Amino acid sequence: MEFSIRPATRDDCKDLARMVRDLADYHEITEYVTQTDLEQDGFRENPCFHAFIAEVPEQHKSKDGYTKIGFALYVFSYSLMYSRSIVLQMLYVMDEFRGKGVGKALFKKVAQEGVAAGCRQLTFKMSHWNKSALGFYVSQGCQDDTTEMGLHLMSCSRDVMERLDQS
């Protein structure tokens, strides 16, 4: 199947939002996803995120008429253990285009971006129940740091952050 991977632009925000909603539905986390201003957050002087878009030619569009069929959203981070890192926040491919190499191409593109930026590590999180994704990432050479390094993913909600700010 013919497809291309390219950096996302402002014009992709509507499709990015659509695919983020689809991904949230798939993971049954719709109530946790707040729709931010993707255009403001991703396409300003110092963007909060970067993304790649997977696109097919018009003649291969989805059954619903979409040519933008997947995306990888990533950020850069810094760790004292690894120095510069690239963090894959989301990788999504529409159902009807899965198993055709699109996800692998998006993942590879993020890895290439990390190498070009001098990153020493690519990190990401995934749902514990998503065995197909786990198999995919392991097949790419990734390791599960939960078991390998005994790390836990921790977070603080906005309410906690505000409470800390006020104390």
Q: Each residue of 138-160: pLDDT tens digit?
A: 899 998 888 777 777 777 888 89
Residue boundaries of the structural domains of the chain: 4-124
Q: Is 82 noted as a catalytic residue in this protein? A: no
Catalytic residue among 32, 66, 82, 137: 137
Helix (H) or strand (E) holding 163: helix 158-166
Question: Which residue reads 């894959």 in tokens?
Answer: 88
Radius of gyration of the CA atoms of the chain, in A = 17
- Whether residue 12 is predicted with pLDDT greater than 80 in this model: the reply is yes
Instruction: List, for residues 111-124, the tens digit of each pLDDT value.
Output: 999 999 999 999 99
What phi-psi label fits residue 90: left (phi over 0), alpha (psi between -120 and 50 degrees) or beta?
A: beta
Q: What is the mean pLDDT of residues 65-86?
A: 93
**pTM exceeding the 0.85 threshold for the entire prediction:** yes
CA 80, distance to chain mean position in Å, is: 23
CA-to-CA distance for 47 and 41, rounded, in angstroms?
6
Strands (E), 1-56: 4-7, 50-55
Domain 4-124 in CATH 3.40.630.30: yes
Question: Are 67 and 57 within 8 A, CB to CB?
Answer: yes
Residue predicted with more confidence, 30 or 18:
18
